[in-house]
Structure 1
Amino acid sequence: MLSWLRKLVFSIILVLVVVGGSRSAVAESWPQRTVRIVVPFSAGSAIDVAARIIGDGLTRRWGQSVVIENKPGGETIIGTSAFVSARDQHALLYTTFGTLSVLPLTVDSLPFNPQTDLVPLVPTVSVVVAVSVTNSLGVSTLSDLEALIRSRPGEFAWASSPTLPRYVFTMFLKQRGLEMSYVGYRDASQPQADLGEGRIHAFVAAIPTSTPAVAAGKARFVATTEPQRTTILPEVPSAAEAGYDELSFVGGAGMFVGNDMPASIRERVIADVNAVLSDAVISGKLKAAGQQVIGGGPEVLRRLVEQQAARVVEISKSIDLKSIR
């Protein structure tokens, strides 16, 4: 009896060793071909820039080409749907937290389930969003801006990046009883020119989007939407610091995979993406692009998405999100 039991235990251990070894071998041999990073935003966007910087680092680490596939449209729905449908184990999805936190609240029927079809791996960066104003206004703080808008209701125009930047500024105006006209754009480069020329008066978007007008001396940053002052713009206060908590949010992005990706490969991707993010050259390039490195694992990414989702729910109590998509 004892001999039989020992043989059984030995067999179980042997199976576990073989299985564990095979999983390790799978991870070590991956990737076996080009890896696609699907980005549901247009080329040149803040998310696209970060994906390319990280992708270059992964190419060197993996010894395989990493290509960026831009599939913009539908507030990330088009690209995310294509990624989920492909079920490609040599594909990663690089998108904002909003794909999981905003879409379920603004779209009645999604072609994918953000909770089950997307597996979070690594929170990569926070895309720092700033409120910039044209110099023709003669204001240098959010309180100055509020006072000017209040004194001349309806005379000024503003624009923003989609979703959260637009939501929070809309809420700011509503909660403080201010009137401004919103201007929508199809071409992301146009609001930069209009801000510099004073055709729009305030712009809420990722830092690099407003930088050309600021660098030319035609506009200035008055606040960021980060919870605390950021080292990317150390001279500019956060909105919360200036007394405007309603303008605060973290515009983060992360790496996701499909739910059929083997656990061993997930672990490899997590380790390698974090290694790339910790590289001083990579983090320096991201900072120059107006993005702060976060890093970490799936639990950190889940927590950040949940925090943003809670923030979006809070915003939805003040404004109708579906009416301003």
Structure 2
Amino acid sequence: MLKNIARRSLVLLALAATGAALAQKPTPRSTAPATPAAPLNWPTRPLRIIVGFPAGSTPDLVARTISEPLAKAIGQPVIVENRPGAGGNIAADAVVRATDNHTIGFMINGNMTIAKILNPAVPYDPQRDLQPLSLIGTAPLLLAAPANAPGKDAQEFFLAARNAGDKWSYGSPGVGTVGHIGMELLKTKTNMTAVHVPWPGNPQVINALVSNQIQLALLPPGLAAPQVKAGKLKAIGVTSLGRSPLAPEYPTLNELGIRGFQLEIWVAAAAPNSMPKPIAQKLSTLIAGITRTPEVRGKLFQQGWQAVGTSAEGLANRIRNDTAVLGGVILMRGIKAE
């Protein structure tokens, strides 16, 4: 009996020792990388916003509109730096390469979606190297034609365009621009075969329309509307899915029978992918909130933008959708940057 008691005591001691060892064993760590903590004293210097277009351009005006309230929110100056060239891709690459955690960029559609698809030589990959912050503003394009364009309504106009074949041409401010790719998308949905003619910029496109050198173009409403009201151009319809507050008097192409057609230009904020996530999240929240304030919304509207102010995830979704649509057109049509 004493032997049995002793045996049970040894078993209990062994179990106790095993339990103590398990209690001291460290819990296995997750293999997922830890989210870096935001420095408690961030920012420690001025924040830099790089814009890929000249001073006075629409993306530049948006950046300067956001910069003042953003400076107040972070307690540091916000400096807008213009680095024009390559349709904004030079500036986007500079943002990607920034490692100071105090640099972001304000970019247009192409810089954050199709840049690499359009031109494999572009040194950065938008989806790999850029961190979305917030979609700031959107705007539709207006399909415009010369004032004497045929057809008493949109249906007759598109019929004339199809019948004209490659005798009709359309203008854009360059290969790979939204005006170019958007027209190629429209051609797939309407069976038009108008030929692309690139111009240095939208003002030259408008002049070509007015003088009947070309028959079609997708233009920012702010540029085209004055010419329409002056009787120099004919407005066919806008490319937003629903009526745009920026041009409420014009029907949408969707209303005119081109079902599901949606195309917008937009401007957004992005950070280098190397920026710690907590800092990027803070900037995303601040920029989105500033964009949605009545004062900033009003200023953006005057500049030709419908203010949005999304989360980082909202912008990421828009990037994925636009990349799929516009990238598909590029690949289908064999479009390459010049």
The bucket for the TM-score relative to the shorter chain is 0.7 to 0.9
Determine if the alignment matches structure 1 residue 206 to structure 2 residue 223.
no
Give TM-score scaled by structure 2 length.
Answer: 0.78
Q: 1:121 aligns with which of 107, 124, 133?
A: 133
Query: Against the structure 1 CA distance between its residues 128 and 45, is the aligned structure 2 distance closer, same or farther, given a 3 Å change threshold?
Result: farther
State the 1:131 CA deviation.
1.2
Q: Work out whether 1:258 is the aligned partner of 2:290.
A: no
Q: Is the 8 A contact 1:141 1:223 kept in 2?
A: no
1:307 aligns with 2:321: yes
Query: For the structure 1 residues 42 and 130, does the alpha-carbon distance in structure 2 shift closer, same or farther, using more than 3 Å as the test?
Result: farther
Q: Which amino acid aligns with 1:84?
A: V
Q: Deviations over 1:140-159 (max 9, x none)?
A: 75423312323444454421
Tell me the SS of whatever aligns to 2:126.
Answer: coil
The aligned runs of 1:12-161 (5 Å cut-off) are 23=38, 25-27=40-42, 30=43, 32-33=45-46, 35-137=47-149, 141-161=153-173
Q: CA offset at residue 175 of structure 1?
A: 5.3
Alignment deviations for residues 166-201 of structure 1 (CA, whole Å, 9 cap, x no partner):
112124335544343433222443223333444433
Q: Does the aligned pair in 1 maintain the 2:139–2:266 contact within 8 Å?
A: yes
In 1: Cα distance, 2:55 partner to 2:229 partner: 22
Distance 1:124 1:215, change over 3 A: same
Distance in 2 (CA, whole Å) between partners of 1:85 and 1:248 is 33
Deviations 1:49-105 (A, max 9, x none): 322322243244445443332323323322212222343422211112322321232
**How many pairs were matched up?**
308
Partner of 1:290: 304
The percentage of counterpart residues that share the same residue type is: 22
Question: CA RMSD of the aligned region, Å?
Answer: 3.3
Contact 1:195 1:213 in 2 (8 A): no
* One-letter amino acid of the structure 1 residue matched with residue 247 of structure 2: L
Q: What is the TM-score when the length of structure 1 is the normalising length? A: 0.81
| 226-235 vs 244-253, which moves further | 244-253
Indicate if the aligned counterparts of 1:128 and 1:290 stay in contact, CA closer than 8 A: no
SS of 1:189 mapped into structure 2? helix
1:306 is displaced (CA, Å) by 0.7
- Among 178, 183, 188, which residue is 1:169 paired with? 183
Partner of 2:41: helix, strand, or coil?
A: helix
- Flag structure 2 segments of 5+ consecutive residues without an equivalent: 1-35
Aligned-partner residue type, residue 273 of structure 1: I
Distance of 2:73 and 2:65 partners within structure 1:
13
Distance across 2 between alignment mates of 1:267 and 1:45? 27
Amino acid at match of 1:216: A
Q: Which residue of 2 aligns with 1:183?
A: 197
Unaligned runs of 5+ in 1: 1-18
Q: CA–CA distance in 2 between the matches of 1:52 and 1:188?
A: 23
Residues 128 and 292 in structure 1, CA contact (< 8 A), matched pair in contact too: no
* C-alpha contact (below 8 Å) 1:26/1:265 kept by paired residues: no
8 Å contact from structure 1 (residues 193, 213) kept in 2: no
Give per-residue Cα distances to partners, 1:285-319, cap 9 Å, x unaligned: 21222212222221111111111112124324642
Higher Cα Rg, which structure: 2
1:244 maps to which of 234, 258, 276? 258
Instruction: Identify the match of residue 208 of structure 2 among 191, 194, 213.
Output: 194
1:227-267: CA deviations, max 9, x gaps?
A: 22212212212222222247522333321111232333223
Equivalent residues of 2:292, 2:308 under 8 A apart: no
